[in-house]
Amino acid sequence: MDCLFCKIIDGAIPSNKVYEDDMCLAFHDIAPQAPVHVLIIPKAHLASADEVNADNSKYVAHIFEVIPAIAAKLGLVNGYRVITNCGEDGAQSVKHLHFHLLGGKKLPESMG
Ligand code: DGP
Protein backbone atom coordinates (compact mmCIF):
# COMPACT_ATOMS: atom_id res chain seq x y z
CA MET A 1 0.00 0.00 0.00
CA ASP A 2 1.30 3.41 -0.93
CA CYS A 3 0.88 5.01 2.47
CA LEU A 4 3.49 7.37 3.90
CA PHE A 5 2.80 6.48 7.53
CA CYS A 6 2.77 2.72 6.81
CA LYS A 7 6.25 3.26 5.34
CA ILE A 8 7.31 5.06 8.52
CA ILE A 9 5.99 2.12 10.58
CA ASP A 10 7.94 -0.29 8.35
CA GLY A 11 11.08 1.82 8.66
CA ALA A 12 11.24 2.41 4.90
CA ILE A 13 10.98 6.13 5.67
CA PRO A 14 12.92 7.35 8.73
CA SER A 15 11.27 9.17 11.61
CA ASN A 16 12.31 10.71 14.89
CA LYS A 17 10.59 8.24 17.22
CA VAL A 18 9.31 9.16 20.64
CA TYR A 19 7.46 5.98 21.60
CA GLU A 20 6.67 2.62 20.03
CA ASP A 21 4.87 -0.57 20.99
CA ASP A 22 3.09 -3.33 19.13
CA MET A 23 -0.01 -1.22 18.42
CA CYS A 24 1.21 2.32 17.84
CA LEU A 25 4.11 4.57 16.97
CA ALA A 26 4.76 8.17 18.02
CA PHE A 27 7.23 10.41 16.21
CA HIS A 28 7.99 14.10 15.82
CA ASP A 29 6.05 15.92 13.11
CA ILE A 30 8.22 17.04 10.22
CA ALA A 31 6.62 20.52 10.26
CA PRO A 32 5.96 21.30 13.93
CA GLN A 33 3.19 23.78 14.72
CA ALA A 34 4.07 24.05 18.41
CA PRO A 35 7.25 23.63 20.48
CA VAL A 36 6.21 19.99 20.91
CA HIS A 37 4.36 18.41 17.97
CA VAL A 38 4.24 14.64 17.84
CA LEU A 39 2.12 12.33 15.70
CA ILE A 40 0.72 9.13 17.16
CA ILE A 41 -0.40 6.51 14.66
CA PRO A 42 -1.91 3.03 14.89
CA LYS A 43 0.09 0.16 13.42
CA ALA A 44 -2.99 -0.81 11.45
CA HIS A 45 -3.89 1.13 8.34
CA LEU A 46 -7.05 3.07 9.10
CA ALA A 47 -7.51 5.92 6.66
CA SER A 48 -9.03 8.30 9.19
CA ALA A 49 -11.22 8.61 12.28
CA ASP A 50 -14.13 7.95 9.94
CA GLU A 51 -12.99 4.30 9.65
CA VAL A 52 -12.99 3.60 13.37
CA ASN A 53 -15.44 0.87 14.33
CA ALA A 54 -16.01 -1.79 16.99
CA ASP A 55 -13.43 -4.11 15.37
CA ASN A 56 -10.55 -1.62 15.34
CA SER A 57 -11.35 0.88 18.10
CA LYS A 58 -8.86 -0.94 20.35
CA TYR A 59 -6.11 0.94 18.48
CA VAL A 60 -7.67 4.28 19.34
CA ALA A 61 -8.26 3.25 22.95
CA HIS A 62 -4.66 2.09 23.20
CA ILE A 63 -3.31 5.34 21.79
CA PHE A 64 -5.25 7.31 24.39
CA GLU A 65 -3.97 4.95 27.08
CA VAL A 66 -0.35 5.74 26.18
CA ILE A 67 -0.75 9.48 25.52
CA PRO A 68 -0.24 10.45 29.20
CA ALA A 69 3.11 8.65 29.30
CA ILE A 70 4.18 10.18 25.97
CA ALA A 71 3.16 13.63 27.18
CA ALA A 72 5.06 13.15 30.43
CA LYS A 73 8.14 11.97 28.52
CA LEU A 74 7.98 15.14 26.43
CA GLY A 75 7.66 17.35 29.51
CA LEU A 76 4.10 18.49 28.86
CA VAL A 77 3.38 18.98 32.54
CA ASN A 78 1.09 21.97 31.96
CA GLY A 79 -1.29 20.32 29.50
CA TYR A 80 -1.51 19.62 25.81
CA ARG A 81 -3.88 19.25 22.87
CA VAL A 82 -4.77 16.10 20.92
CA ILE A 83 -6.26 16.59 17.46
CA THR A 84 -7.16 14.35 14.55
CA ASN A 85 -7.99 15.89 11.19
CA CYS A 86 -10.52 13.89 9.19
CA GLY A 87 -11.24 14.11 5.47
CA GLU A 88 -11.36 17.07 3.14
CA ASP A 89 -13.13 19.55 5.40
CA GLY A 90 -10.97 18.45 8.32
CA ALA A 91 -7.86 19.33 6.27
CA GLN A 92 -6.42 15.81 6.57
CA SER A 93 -3.37 15.51 4.31
CA VAL A 94 -2.03 12.04 5.20
CA LYS A 95 -4.65 9.32 4.82
CA HIS A 96 -3.53 7.18 7.75
CA LEU A 97 -5.25 7.88 11.06
CA HIS A 98 -3.02 10.02 13.25
CA PHE A 99 -3.36 12.07 16.38
CA HIS A 100 -1.44 15.32 16.70
CA LEU A 101 -0.08 15.83 20.22
CA LEU A 102 0.70 19.52 20.62
CA GLY A 103 2.11 21.44 23.55
CA GLY A 104 5.03 23.23 25.09
CA LYS A 105 3.26 26.59 25.13
CA LYS A 106 -0.18 28.08 25.81
CA LEU A 107 -2.04 27.08 22.65
CA PRO A 108 -4.59 29.37 20.98
CA GLU A 109 -8.18 28.82 22.08
CA SER A 110 -9.45 28.77 18.50
CA MET A 111 -9.61 25.40 16.78
CA GLY A 112 -11.33 26.35 13.58
P1 DGP B 1 -2.71 16.14 8.69
O2 DGP B 1 -2.74 17.46 8.00
O3 DGP B 1 -3.60 16.10 9.92
O4 DGP B 1 -2.97 15.00 7.73
O5 DGP B 1 -1.25 16.00 9.27
C6 DGP B 1 -0.21 15.34 8.61
C7 DGP B 1 1.06 15.71 9.34
O8 DGP B 1 2.06 14.83 8.90
C9 DGP B 1 1.56 17.12 9.07
O10 DGP B 1 1.54 17.85 10.30
C11 DGP B 1 2.96 16.94 8.56
C12 DGP B 1 3.28 15.52 8.90
N13 DGP B 1 4.14 14.83 7.95
C14 DGP B 1 3.94 14.72 6.63
N15 DGP B 1 4.91 13.99 6.06
C16 DGP B 1 5.74 13.62 7.08
C17 DGP B 1 6.93 12.84 7.14
O18 DGP B 1 7.45 12.32 6.14
N19 DGP B 1 7.51 12.69 8.35
C20 DGP B 1 6.97 13.25 9.48
N21 DGP B 1 7.62 13.04 10.63
N22 DGP B 1 5.84 13.97 9.47
C23 DGP B 1 5.25 14.15 8.28
Annotated catalytic, 45?
no
**Residues whose CB falls within 8 Å of the CB of residue 104, separated by 6 or more in sequence, listed in order:** 34, 35, 36, 74, 75, 76
Three-class DSSP category at 27: strand
| Predicted local confidence at residue 37, as pLDDT | 98
- Ligand 1 pocket, CB under 6 A: 4, 13, 15, 27-31, 39, 85, 91-94
* pTM of the model as a whole: 0.98
Residue of 94, 95, 96 to test ligand 1 pocket, by largest number of atoms within 8 Å of CB: 94
Q: What is the pLDDT along the chain (112 residues), one digit of tens a residue?
A: 799 999 999 999 999 999 999 999 999 999 999 999 999 999 999 999 999 999 999 999 999 999 999 999 999 999 999 999 999 999 999 999 999 999 999 999 998 8
CA distance 17 to 29: 10
| Predicted local confidence at residue 2, as pLDDT | 94
